[in-house]
């Protein structure tokens, strides 16, 4: 009888870890689907809010609202990060998906410019601001949650599912776009079909809200003395080096990510001359491969360490961004573009697969969610969120390749950050500090 009880105790942690990872990942999937639906359908709904005879001008205005939404992410990273360190990871994750539900619902029912004039872009802006707060808090809370529940020897592999679901959300948005492109006339898609993904996202967020209510709080958070849950912003200032490392990694990593994922669809249409369905289909296929690479690179980091992978991304991004973007702009549909995009995303995987866990391992539990979320949100707001807007600005200035060099330089900044990633981890396991994690 005792033996059976002991066996049950040995099995329970494994089931709990899997259940926790699945619960956190499902919410992350819906959050990022909602966020990327805006970018995926922007070519269709942009003229409904920013009418113009110049397609590039309309795209530029829509991208500007996309970028402004990112400016709210530091606020979300601060508010929800501090909330997660004071009230718990579960509470912050539940709140973030509730906010995303509200933001998506606002877009789904938004009036157009023809109906209410300038109120239409203002409505769209408010919806993106709400979503920006939500996603700004989601990254730090989910990275912290998934890193804390994973076993030290599998932390890179399990935590990589944060980006699996992040990419999966983008892929679902693109897949829905492909379905709607093949079933609706373009006029109908531009008229009302673009509302469908936002309505679906709002409904899915309601289901995930219920799911996240059933998550179990992490042991790492519960082990922190009550007094250390207070004044977390002040306590975070004692970790300046870690904050700078996260900011540098995010600046280059997020710019490269948004360049080769969300902006790529527009780049293929506006610069490479592909049709919208061609660009959507190839982007979706490349993202599918990219999603599958995340656990492979995460598992590799458990064997050789996080730092070597980050350095590989920094070197590859610095040296290869310009020639890769040049080649993609000249690629023929479909295989040339697909192979080049997949190659670029493979290099990027050395960063994205371990992005969350590396940052979480830099901070102690009492400031971990805020330490991950705030500098990440700042970096992604300034560099990642502005990627499309900056790219379009370079195009209008007649110097498109200037943007390619900008990406390369910022990957160099990430390389500097990677160089200063320390060995060891501040994440504690029930068996003691996870110093044996090889990073």
Q: Which two tokens stand for residue 255?
A: 């710019």
Q: Which residue ranges form the domains of the chain, and what is each CATH number?
A: 13-218+239-433 (1.20.1250.20)
Buried b (16+ CB within 10 A) or exposed e, 134-156: bbbbbbbbbbbbbbbbbbbeebb
Per-residue pLDDT of the chain (439 residues; tens, 9 = 90+): 444 444 444 443 444 677 788 777 887 888 889 878 887 788 788 888 887 666 666 666 777 776 777 788 899 999 999 999 999 999 999 999 999 999 999 999 999 888 988 888 889 888 988 988 998 888 899 999 989 988 888 999 999 998 999 888 888 888 898 899 889 998 899 899 999 999 999 999 988 888 888 888 988 899 999 888 888 989 999 999 999 999 999 999 999 999 998 899 889 998 888 988 899 889 889 989 999 999 999 999 999 999 999 999 999 999 999 999 999 999 888 888 999 999 999 999 999 999 999 999 999 999 999 999 999 999 988 898 789 889 989 998 999 999 999 999 999 999 999 999 987 676 755 444 433 333 3
Q: Is the pTM of this model over 0.85?
A: no
329, burial (CB in 10 Å: exposed 0-12, middle 13-18, buried 19+): middle
Q: 428: which strand partners?
A: 433
Structural contact between residues 340 and 371, judged by C-beta atoms closer than 8 angstroms: no
Number of Cβ within a 10 Å radius of residue 185 = 10
Dihedral angle of Cα 312, 384, 166, 156, to the nearest 10 degrees: 30
Picking from 142, 156, 147, the residue whose alpha carbon sits closest to that of residue 353 is 156
């Amino acid at each position: 009888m005792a033996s059976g009880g002991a066996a049950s105790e040995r099995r329970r942690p494994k089931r709990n870890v899997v259940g926790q990872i699945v619960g956190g990942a499902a919410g992350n999937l819906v959050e990022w689907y909602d966020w990327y639906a805006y970018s995926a359908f922007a070519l269709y709904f942009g003229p409904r809010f920013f009418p113009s005879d110049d397609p590039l001008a309309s795209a530029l205005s829509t991208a500007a609202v996309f970028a402004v939404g990112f400016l709210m992410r530091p606020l979300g990273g601060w508010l929800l990060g501090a909330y997660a360190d004071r009230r718990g990871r579960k509470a912050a994750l539940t709140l973030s998906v509730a906010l995303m539900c509200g933001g998506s619902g606002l877009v789904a029912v938004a009036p157009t410019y023809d109906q209410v004039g300038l109120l239409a872009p203002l409505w769209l802006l408010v919806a993106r601001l709400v979503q920006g707060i939500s996603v700004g808090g989601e990254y730090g809370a989910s990275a912290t949650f998934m890193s804390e529940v994973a076993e030290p020897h599998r932390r890179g592999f399990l935590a990589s599912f944060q980006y699996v679901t992040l990419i999966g959300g983008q892929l679902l948005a693109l897949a829905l776009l492909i379905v709607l492109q093949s079933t609706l006339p373009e006029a109908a898609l531009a008229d009302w079909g673009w509302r469908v993904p936002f309505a679906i996202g709002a409904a899915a967020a309601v289901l995930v809200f219920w799911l996240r209510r059933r998550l179990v709080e992490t042991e790492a958070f519960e082990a922190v003395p009550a007094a250390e849950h207070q004044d977390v912003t002040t306590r975070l200032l004692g970790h300046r080096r870690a904050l700078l490392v996260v900011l540098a990694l995010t600046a280059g990593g997020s710019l490269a990510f948004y360049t080769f994922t969300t902006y790529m669809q527009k780049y293929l249409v506006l610069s490479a001359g592909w049709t919208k369905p061609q660009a959507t289909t190839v982007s979706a296929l490349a993202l599918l491969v990219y999603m599958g690479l995340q656990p492979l690179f995460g598992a590799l980091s458990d064997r050789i360490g996080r730092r070597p992978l980050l350095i590989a991304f920094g070197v590859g991004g610095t040296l290869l961004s310009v020639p890769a973007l040049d080649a993609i702009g000249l690629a023929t549909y479909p295989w040339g573009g697909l192979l080049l995009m997949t190659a670029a995303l493979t290099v990027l995987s050395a960063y994205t697969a371990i992005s969350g866990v590396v940052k979480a391992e830099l901070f102690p539990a009492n400031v971990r969610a805020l330490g991950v979320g705030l500098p990440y949100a700042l970096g992604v707001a300034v560099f990642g969120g502005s990627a499309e807007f900056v790219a379009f600005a370079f195009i209008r200035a007649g110097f498109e390749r200037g943007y390619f060099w900008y990406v390369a330089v910022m990957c160099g900044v990430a390389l500097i950050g990677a160089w200063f990633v320390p060995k060891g981890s501040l994440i504690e396991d029930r068996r003691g500090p996870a110093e044996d994690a090889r990073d």
